[in-house]
Amino acid sequence: MNQPIFPITMPRWGIEMLRGTITVWHAALGQSVKKGDTLLDVETDKIVNSVESPVSGVLRAIVAEKGATADAGALIAVIADVSIPDEKVLDFVRNFTVGGAESKPDAGPAAATADPSASGASVSPIARRIAERLGIDISKVKGSGINGRVSKEDVEAHAAAYSGKEPGTASAGAASAAAANPAPTREKMSPTRATIAKRLLESTQGIPHYRLEVDADFSALFDLRASLDRGVVPISVNDFVIRAAALALMKHPALNAQLLGDEILTFGHADIGIAVVTEKGLITPILRRAETKTLQQIATEARELAHRARSGTLTREDTTDGSFTISNLGMFGVDRFDAIINPPQVAILAVAAAADRAVAREGKVAVRKIATLTLSADHRVVDGAGGAQFLANLRQLLESPQQLT
């Protein structure tokens, strides 16, 4: 090590990152680590990245536990040689500064704060939530962390030791009543959900949306899809939509753009965001240069991006600088819906379920696979006529799907 005590701080990935939430510690307190070993995972915005140890040594202090949120640059752990006294490590934690300002454990907005009822010891956020759920007086829990910090494990150990018989806690009758009528669960937004909320609020308040809707006949598309070689990765209806949208965007570049202040950035390729439903919320990885890819290539890449979105392995590059977004809820049987534009993009396409409908064809009633497509566009950049022309071109491609193969 270059110095006897080395701080591990919340990293900053990109200028937009202000804070991160620790999702898991891969190293335990007191464990020896080598330079390059994975210490922890941090969630920020819509991605989770791993933090590697910059040095070799022993993890002597964990200042921010799993579930804690800390500002970029804040102290989250300390690595030091085993020969360094505990008191010196504690002094390092107490006196650590960032940019000239004192940095205290869990300085992030959702981090633990000192609890007067816990004899001055700090309590991790997850420990407090578990104690409230179990009806445990947090002041009676003995913390095992630095300065008596109370962790999730401390609360669980306390609960197991007393088995609900702790003096001053709820009686068996009260506990039974509480179990029969549990209190509502209070949970802080995850970084992903908070980012989604912030961006959607900005979009709805700041973008003059308008919507255009068309019904497209997917019957020929379904027939063609059934006749295609399924290959390693089957081609889905959404893969057809992505390719058709990419080709249409090349003819209508006003929709393949971003609005940055008073400047319009028009893309030369269709970098299409694919809305993916995950446990953490809606994540939109980008399928680059979609107009240059075959249906099979789109199918393979789209599934890989969806898998990485759900497993939390997307990088920042996977989710930024898209030119257009497609949100498909057809698999949920939704008849029609409109989507909110993902700024700074200027348009988004909502794709509903393709279902059997009775329609008029050459003076007769026929049953066809009809899907409703809804375009939401930013009226500051895209005129209504331009949006309508894009939708007409898109429908023509989807109703004549041989053009997409």
Residue-range domains of the chain with CATH: 5-102 (2.40.50.100), 116-180 (4.10.320.10), 191-404 (3.30.559.10)
The residue-averaged pLDDT of 82-95 equals: 90
Report whether pLDDT(388) > 90. Answer: yes
Report whether pLDDT(104) > 60. Answer: no
pLDDT the model gives residue 146: 58
Give the amino acid at 72: A
pLDDT the model gives residue 386: 97
The residue-averaged pLDDT of 259-265 equals: 92
Report whether pLDDT(222) > 70. Answer: yes
Instruction: Verify whether residue 252 is a known catalytic residue.
Output: no
pLDDT the model gives residue 197: 81
pLDDT the model gives residue 99: 52
The residue-averaged pLDDT of 301-319 equals: 90
Report whether pLDDT(395) > 70. Answer: yes
Report whether pLDDT(168) > 70. Answer: no
Mean pLDDT lowest for which of 51-65, 134-148, 164-178, 245-259?
A: 164-178
Report whether pLDDT(333) > 90. Answer: yes
Task: Name the active-site residue from 26, 269, 307, 379.
Answer: 379
pLDDT the model gives residue 103: 35
pLDDT the model gives residue 169: 44
Report whether pLDDT(235) > 90. Answer: yes
pLDDT the model gives residue 183: 55
Report whether pLDDT(175) > 60. Answer: no
Q: Which two tokens stand for residue 362?
A: 């050459």
Mean pLDDT lowest for which of 147-151, 179-183, 263-267?
A: 179-183
The residue-averaged pLDDT of 124-138 equals: 75
pLDDT the model gives residue 120: 47
Binned at pLDDT 50, 70 and 90, residue 163 comes out as low
The residue-averaged pLDDT of 220-246 equals: 91
pLDDT the model gives residue 215: 97
Mean pLDDT lowest for which of 125-129, 192-196, 321-325, 334-338?
A: 125-129
pLDDT the model gives residue 320: 87
Of the two residues 270 and 110, the one the predictor is more confident about is 270
Of the two residues 179 and 22, the one the predictor is more confident about is 22
pLDDT the model gives residue 16: 64
